[in-house]
Chains A and B, each alone.
Chain A
C-alpha cells in the first residue's frame, strides 16, 4: 500500500535518474580500489625491487604500471561523469546545498589533480628519469589518493549526517559553518572503513591474478612474489577492516538509527532484539526466511541484550526505506559482513602458517580461495556502497531533502534514452578494458614462456619496422 502511494508521489524522473546514478557508480566503484591502492602496492613492490636489486620485483612493478596506465585513464573519465551527473540528475540538491557541502569536492579536486600529475610522472618516468628520483616522485602518490578519497567521503558523509547550517523560514540553509559541514559525525568511521576496504580489495584482486597462475602450475619466483606482496598487504589490512566495519555499524546505530533498523530489519523499537541472517521483511512488519539468532542484534549494537534498538516504525512510512529497500539493504549488509568474515579466516590461515612455518600454504584450496578473494572483495565493496546509499532512502540529504525533491525536471523519456546510451557506452568501454587487460596478460605470458624479447618478425604489430623513426633515437624497441 505505502509503496504504491510513495511511487505515485515521486516524479517519473526519479526511477531513471536513480538507475543511471546507480549504474554509473556501480561501474566506477570497480575501478576505485585499484585507483586508490594499486599505486601503493606497486610502490611497495618497486621499493622492494630497488632495495634488493631484484629484477623480478621491478618487472612486476613495471607491468602493474602498464595496467595502471589504462585503468587510471578509464577511472578519470568515469569519475568525471559522476561530477556531471550531480548537475544532470540532481540539480535540486546542488542548487540548494552546493555551498554547504561542496567544499569537500574542492579538496578532492586537489587530490585528483596531484594524483593525475604524479601518476603521469610515475608511469612515464620509468625509462628516462634516474631510478631513485623516479621512485621518490612516486612516493606521495598513495597520500594524494587518500586526500582525494577524503574529499569524496566528506561529501558523502555529509549527505548521511548533514550539519553545519541552519534553516531559514523558507527552508533554505543559512549560517553555513564549513568546518562542521566537512567533519560530520559519520566521516571518521566512513573514511577509514572505505580506505581500508580499498587496500584490502586492491590487494586481493592483484594477488588473485597470481593465485590463478599458481593453480595452473606457474610456480616460479615471479608468481610467488606477485602473489605474496599484495596478499600479505591485504591480509594485514583484513583484521583492521573487521574492527573498523564493526565500529562503523555501531556508529550508524547511534547516528542514523533508521538506517541501522533497515540494515538489521528491525520493525519495532525493542530490547532483546534478535539478529536475522538474511530473511525478508514484509510490509506488515513480519519477517520470513532467514536464520534467527535471539538477542544477538542488541548485543552487537550495545554489548548487552537489553540494549534498545530503534525500529523502522519510529518514523512515518514516508520517511524511511520501504520494506523492499530495507530487505535489499539487509541482504547487502549481510553479504558484506559474510564476505568480510570469510576473508578474515583466509587471512588468519595465511598469517598463522606464515608465523609458524614461514611458508605459503601448500593446499590448492588456499589458492582457490585466494583467487576468489579478489572478486569477493569487489562484491563486498559494492554491497557496502548499496547499504549506505539505499539505507538512506528516501532522503538524498538525510532528513533534509528527499531524492524526489532533488531530481531534474528533464523529461523522464530523455533520461531513459540517456541511460540506455550510457549503458551501451559503458559496456563497450568496460568490455574493451577487460579485453585489453587480458590481451596484455597473454602477451606477457607468451614473452615469459620464450624467456626473452621476441624477435621483431614474430611481433604481430604492423608497424614494427618503423619503431624508431618517428621519435628519433629516443625510443628503443616497439611501443607498448
Chain B
C-alpha cells in the first residue's frame, strides 16, 4: 500500500521534472535552431531573459526523482543505473554542460565566447533529454533487469530511441509554448507568433512520434502497450490527446494563460499514462512495486518527507513562478554594478 503511494509520488516527480526541466531543455532546443548570431539574436535574448530566474528550480525536480528512487526503491535504482549506464552517464555530462553553458553565456561579452557557451548550452539541451528518455524507454521495454550489464543493446532499441525522440519533441513543445507566452508578456507579438509556429510544429512531431511509439511498443513492450490501451492508462492517453488538441487550438491565436496549462497537461498526462501502464511493475515484467520497495519504515518516512516538501516547497515554487510571470524578477544590469 505505502509502496504504491511512493511509486505514485515518484511518477509525479518524474512528470514534474519532465514539465519543469522539459521547458528548460526546450528553450535550449530553440536556442540551437534560432539561426545565426544576427538572426537568432532576439529569440536568444528572450530565452536568456525568460529562463534565467527559474531554470535551476526546474532542474531540482531531478534531484527529487533520484532521492525518491534510491530511498524508496533502491533495487530499481541499482538496476537502472547499472543497465542504463552509458545514457545516464552522458545525460549527467549533458546536465553539467547545459547549466554551465547557460550560466556562463550571460556574463560573457564577446560574440565568440557567447557563441561557444551558447552552442554548449544548446547542444547539451538536445542530448540530455534524449538520453534520459532512452533510459526510460529501457525501463518501459523491460530491458532493465538484475542480470543485464551495461551494453549498447540495452538502450539502443526501438522503444528507447522513440522515448528519446519523444522526450526531445515534448521538451521542444513545452519550451516554445512557454517562450511564446513570455514573448507576449514582454510585449513582443512577433516573437509570440515565431514561437507559436514552432510550438505547433513540435506538437505535430510529438503526435506523430506518439502514434509510432504506440505501434512499436505493441511488439517491443507488450505490457506497456496493453496498459496504454486499457483502463487508467487509456484514460490518461485520452487526456493527453484532448490536451494536445486544446493546445493546438490555443496555439492558433495569440498566447494567453491557457496554452501553458494545456501543454503541461499533454506532457504530464503522457508521463502518468506510461507509469499507469506499467502497473504493477516498476520494470515490466521483472520487478513489481512490492518487490522493489525499500524498508517499510523508510517508505513511511519518505511519505512524510514528501508531505513536508509539498507544504514547504510548493508555496515557495509558486511564489517564484508568480513573481517571475508578473515581471518582478530581473537580472542586475551593468548600471547596477557600477558606482
Chain A contact residues, CB within 8 Å of chain B: 55-56, 59, 62-63, 65-66, 69-70, 72-74, 76-78, 80-81, 83-88, 91-92, 94-100, 102-103, 105-110, 112-114, 116-121, 123-129, 173-174, 176-178, 222, 408-411, 414, 418, 421-422, 425-426, 428-429, 432-433, 436, 439-440, 443-444, 447-448, 451-454, 459-463, 466, 470-472, 474-480
Contacts and interface: CB of A to CB of B under 8 A. Distances in A.
A463 B331 contact: no
Nearest to B106: A480
A177 B339 contact: no
Contacts of B48: 479
Contacts of B313: 110, 113-114, 117
Contacts of A462: 111
A410 B331 contact: no
Contact of A453 (B100, B330, B335): B335
B46 to A, nearest CB: 6
A116 B109 contact: no
Given A87-B81, A107-B305, A128 B312 contact: no
Contact of B100 (A74, A110, A418, A447): A74
Interface stretch (B61-69, B212-220, B273-281): B61-69
Contact of A480 (B63, B299, B331): B331
Given A77-B95, A84-B92, A409-B149, 6 more contacts: A80-B59, A103-B298, A127-B336, A176-B295, A472-B187, A474-B330
B335 A105 contact: no
Contact of A116 (B60, B70, B306): B60
Given A98-B77, A121-B320, A480 B333 contact: yes
A59 B332 CA distance: 11
Nearest to B64: A109
A120 B56 contact: yes
B57 A117 contact: yes
B96 A125 contact: no
Given A121-B329, A429-B100, A436-B108, A96 B74 contact: yes
A275 to B, nearest CB: 41
Contacts of B86: 414
A56 B98 CA distance: 35
Contact of A81 (B52, B54, B96): B96
A178 B56 contact: no
A81 B95 contact: yes
A451 to B, nearest CB: 7
Contacts of B2: none
Nearest to A469: B42
24 contacts: A62-B337, A66-B337, A77-B98, A96-B74, A99-B299, A103-B298, A103-B302, A110-B309, A113-B313, A114-B313, A124-B52, A125-B329, A127-B332, A127-B333, A408-B85, A409-B149, A414-B85, A436-B107, A448-B338, A459-B334, A471-B45, A472-B188, A477-B334, A477-B336
Nearest to B299: A99
Contacts of B336: 62, 126-127, 477
B41 interface: yes
Nearest to B116: A432
Nearest to A151: B67
B72 A99 contact: yes
A66 B335 CA distance: 12
A88 B88 contact: yes
Contacts of A114: 312-313, 316
A120 B57 contact: yes
A54 to B, nearest CB: 12
Nearest to B329: A124
A432 B298 contact: no
Contacts of B60: 76, 109, 112-113, 116
A25 to B, nearest CB: 14
B5 interface: no
Contacts of A98: 70-71, 74, 77-78, 294
B184 to A, nearest CB: 11
B71 A103 contact: yes
Interface residues of B, number: 91
A475 B317 CA distance: 25
A94 B74 contact: yes
A480 B332 contact: yes
Contacts of B79: 91, 95
A430 to B, nearest CB: 9
Given A83-B63, A470-B188, A66 B332 contact: yes
Q: By CB atoms of chain B within 10 A, which of A72, A84, A411 has the most?
A: A84
B296 to A, nearest CB: 8
A429 B96 contact: yes
Contact of B332 (A62, A78, A118, A418): A62
Nearest to B52: A124
Contacts of A63: 337
Contact of A129 (B56, B309, B328): B328
Nearest to A222: B339
Nearest to B308: A110
Contact of B106 (A65, A447, A474, A479): A479
A476 B80 CA distance: 49
Contacts of B75: 95
A302 B98 CA distance: 51
A174 B295 CA distance: 7
A477 to B, nearest CB: 4
B57 A177 contact: no
Q: By CB atoms of chain A within 10 A, which of B67, B74, B316 has the most?
A: B67
Interface in B256-313: 294-295, 297-299, 301-302, 305-306, 308-309, 312-313
Contacts of A85: 92
A141 to B, nearest CB: 12
A65 B331 CA distance: 10
A454 B65 CA distance: 47
A99 B71 contact: yes
B52 to A, nearest CB: 7
Contacts of A426: 96
B85 A410 contact: yes
Contacts of A125: 323, 328-329
A95 B60 CA distance: 23
A246 B29 CA distance: 52
Contact of A432 (B78, B104, B149, B309): B104
B66 A120 contact: no
Contact of A470 (B45, B98, B109, B329): B45
B99 A73 contact: yes
Contacts of B150: 408-411, 414
Contacts of B8: none
Contact of B335 (A103, A110, A463, A476): A476
B319 A94 contact: no
Contacts of B195: none
A96 B75 CA distance: 7
B118 to A, nearest CB: 13
Contact of B96 (A86, A176, A425, A471): A425
